[in-house]
Amino acid sequence: MSNHLFDAMRAAAPGHAPFIRIDDTRTWTYDDAFALSGRLAGAMDTLGIRPGDRVAVQVEKSAEALILYLACLRTGAVYLPLNTAYTLAELDYFIGDAEPRLVVVAPAAREGVETIAKSHGAIVETLDADGSGSLLDLARDEPADFVDASRTADDLAAILYTSGTTGRSKGAMLTHGNLLSNALTLRDYWRVTSDDRLIHALPIFHTHGLFVATNVTLLAGASMFLLSKFDADEVVSLMPEATMLMGVPTFYVRLLQSPRLDKQAVANIRLFISGSAPLLAETHTEFQARTGHAILERYGMTETNMNTSNPYDGKRIAGTVGFPLPGVTVRVTDPATGLELPPDETGMIEIKGPNVFKGYWRMPEKTAAEFTADGFFISGDLGKIDRDGYISIVGRGKDLVISGGYNIYPKEVEGEIDQIEGVVESAVIGVPHPDFGEGVTAVVVRKPGAVLDEKTIVSALQDRLARYKQPKRIIFADDLPRNTMGKVQKNILRQQYADLYTRT
């Protein structure tokens, strides 16, 4: 029987070659990984997991956790990765909404999760970071040669819940075809081969670490150094043996703080990739000066996987996310009219292609509202396309500030503030204002020892921005709130300073 995504992975696998390296003494070959995936699939089959059943997984990063994802593909189950930071109250929502047949958690979490899971009719098994747990115990006596379930390109492979910064978190339904088409495109666009060795320091409950890093590695027959978390010293130490690093902007900021990072350290690396959050132009420039490498920034979403990428060959422009990937169409439209905008005008980014998800789990009305009549997904991201075709992300539609009737794009204001001497970074938000509707407000992180005050920044912006775009208040903070993928959580800032202009 044909299993659309896993069959492609199996066909690309180089057998006895390394797939996952944990440390100097522990390496998983492709054969090892596929054998365990077969035994895990057998264990799930014995537990009664059938094609289409959801399997929710909240465990620490490990080789076994990655292999469990493969096992789910093989059984035809729908893989549901959950952030390890989610609380029991949050898990209650996700388990209740997705109704998984099986929930896999760390042994220490079993008791608390079991109460929730049983109320929703789910079984609970465990998997620990060291590879132990009840699910592995069940798999031990299962044969490795599991007969894979038949799955087509249109069958669901995974459900990933959006971050839920506003309203109810939504489950994005991703098919075997979505994941395979995108991974093959990225493999070819970034020229990943079986000779590549990826430093994998990303979480595996997110699109970036799970579907980009892992699927691309598998479909190239490449290998990875699997790190439980990002550690700059460990990453620099691995660079002489590696060829690629996929990271979030925070990775590169921390690497630049390492005195060991220089051109000699990265001599063997051919590609540095960044995504999941905007990369500051300053970081891009400094990294290139230190290493000789221009970081390749790309743009993706939970609902679409990857949409665009700066070129492998050609100019990688700081502050842009490059061009649409082959087979993907990206356009910018006027949010009010839906009409496509000319180059260099800011509007709503819309996406169409085989990478775009099937819809939101059990939300047909929400799904219908997020697609245009001609089949484009309305991303919620504001951006523009310049005359050379490079795409820039300006911000989320919900982050747009409307002050005194004027639309203000936070990214434009942040770009000017970030250039001021002594500023590390900034976040611009709209805060309720009695006269203007919303007041443009900047939260700024200063460099250590920098002498900066509100007056200095306001003065510096006077000749750089139209008056209506200039912040009405500057607030200084030690850091900006971020989620696990490094995205600034502006919703938290808006809540924190909601009464800034109304305080008496």
Please give the pLDDT value at position 398: 82
Please give the pLDDT value at position 400: 83
Rounded Cα distance, 325 and 316, in Å: 14
Q: In the chain, count H helices and then E strands.
A: 16, 25
User: What are phi and psi for residue 379, nearest 5 degrees?
Assistant: -70, -30
**Chain-centre distance of CA 487, in angstroms?**
9
CB 120 within 8 A of CB 114: no
Q: From first to last of its 504 residues, what are the pLDDT tens digits of the chain?
A: 799 999 999 999 999 999 999 988 899 999 999 999 999 999 999 999 999 999 999 999 999 999 999 999 999 999 999 989 888 988 999 999 999 999 999 999 999 999 999 999 999 999 999 999 999 999 999 999 999 999 999 999 999 998 654 457 899 999 999 999 999 999 999 999 999 999 999 999 999 999 999 999 999 999 999 999 999 999 999 999 999 999 988 899 899 999 999 999 999 999 999 998 788 888 899 999 999 999 999 999 999 999 999 999 999 999 899 999 999 999 999 988 999 999 999 999 999 999 999 999 999 999 999 999 999 999 999 999 999 999 999 888 888 888 887 778 888 899 899 999 999 999 999 998 877 888 999 999 999 999 899 999 999 998 888 888 999 999 999 999 998 778 899 989 999 999 999 875
CB 393 within 8 A of CB 332: no
The candidate with the shortest Cα–Cα distance to 422, out of 443, 450, 445, is: 450
Phi-psi region of 49 (alpha: psi -120 to 50; beta: other; left: phi over 0): beta
Please give the pLDDT value at position 252: 94
**Can you name the CATH fold of 230-396?**
Rossmann fold (3.40.50)
Query: In this structure, which CATH number among 3.40.630.30, 3.40.1350.10, 3.40.50.1360, 3.30.300.30 belongs to the domain 400-497?
Result: 3.30.300.30
Rounded Cα distance, 31 and 15, in Å: 5
C-alpha torsion sign, points 364, 340, 184, 267? negative
Please give the pLDDT value at position 166: 46
The pLDDT tens digits for 96-150 are: 999 999 999 999 999 999 999 999 999 999 999 999 999 999 999 999 999 999 9
State the pTM of this model: 0.87
Domain with CATH 3.40.50.12780 in the chain: 4-16+25-173, 230-396
**Can you name the CATH fold of 4-16+25-173?**
Rossmann fold (3.40.50)
Place of tokens 């994005």: 172
Strands (E), 409-464: 423-433, 437-446
186 burial level (CB within 10 Å; 0-12, 13-18, 19+):
buried
Please give the pLDDT value at position 359: 98
Helix (H, G, I), strand (E, B) or coil at 344: coil
Helix (H, G, I), strand (E, B) or coil at 302: coil
Helix (H, G, I), strand (E, B) or coil at 132: coil
User: What are phi and psi for residue 419, nearest 5 degrees?
Assistant: -85, -10
Please give the pLDDT value at position 165: 44
Domain with CATH 3.30.300.30 in the chain: 400-497
Please give the pLDDT value at position 167: 55
408 burial level (CB within 10 Å; 0-12, 13-18, 19+):
buried
Rounded Cα distance, 130 and 106, in Å: 10
